[in-house]
Chain A
Amino acid sequence: AQSVTQLDSHVSVSEGTPVLLRCNYSSSYSPSLFWYVQHPNKGLQLLLKYTSAATLVKGINGFEAEFKKSETSFHLTKPSAHMSDAAEYFCVVSSGNSGGSNYKLTFGKGTLLTVNP
Chain B
Amino acid sequence: GAGVSQTPSNKVTEKGKYVELRCDPISGHTALYWYRQSLGQGPEFLIYFQGTGAADDSGLPNDRFFAVRPEGSVSTLKIQRTERGDSAVYLCASSPQVGRGETQYFGPGTRLLVL
Closest A-chain residue to B58, C-beta based?
Answer: A104
Closest A-chain residue to B43, C-beta based?
Answer: A107
The residues of A that contact B33 with a CB separation of less than 8 Å are 103, 105
For residues 58 through 98 of chain A, which have their beta carbon under 8 Å from a beta carbon of chain B? Answer: 90, 92, 94
Taken residue by residue from 34 to 50, chain A's Cβ proximity to chain B (1 for < 8 Å, 0 otherwise) reads as 10100001111110011
Task: State whether A108 touches B3 (Cβ < 8 A).
Answer: no
Q: Kindly state the interface size class of chain B when it binds its partner.
A: 20 to 34
Task: State whether A43 touches B106 (Cβ < 8 A).
Answer: yes
The residues of A that contact B72 with a CB separation of less than 8 Å are none
For residues 1 through 48 of chain A, which have their beta carbon under 8 Å from a beta carbon of chain B? Answer: 4, 32, 34, 36, 41-46
B20 CB–A CB distance under 8 Å: no
Number of A-B pairs whose CB atoms are under 8 Å? 68
Q: Is the interface of B mostly helix, strand, loop or mixed?
A: loop
For residues 36 through 88 of chain B, which have their beta carbon under 8 Å from a beta carbon of chain A? Answer: 40-45, 48, 56, 59
A51 CB–B CB distance under 8 Å: yes
Report the bound CA distance from A45 to B107 in whole Å.
Answer: 9
Report the bound CA distance from A100 to B91 in whole Å.
Answer: 22
Task: Determine how close the nearest CB of chain A comes to the CB of B31; give it in whole angstroms.
Answer: 7
Taken residue by residue from 72 to 112, chain B's Cβ proximity to chain A (1 for < 8 Å, 0 otherwise) reads as 00000000000000000001010100111111111111000
| Pairs across A and B, CB under 8 Å, 5 listed | A36-B106, A43-B4, A43-B109, A44-B91, A105-B104
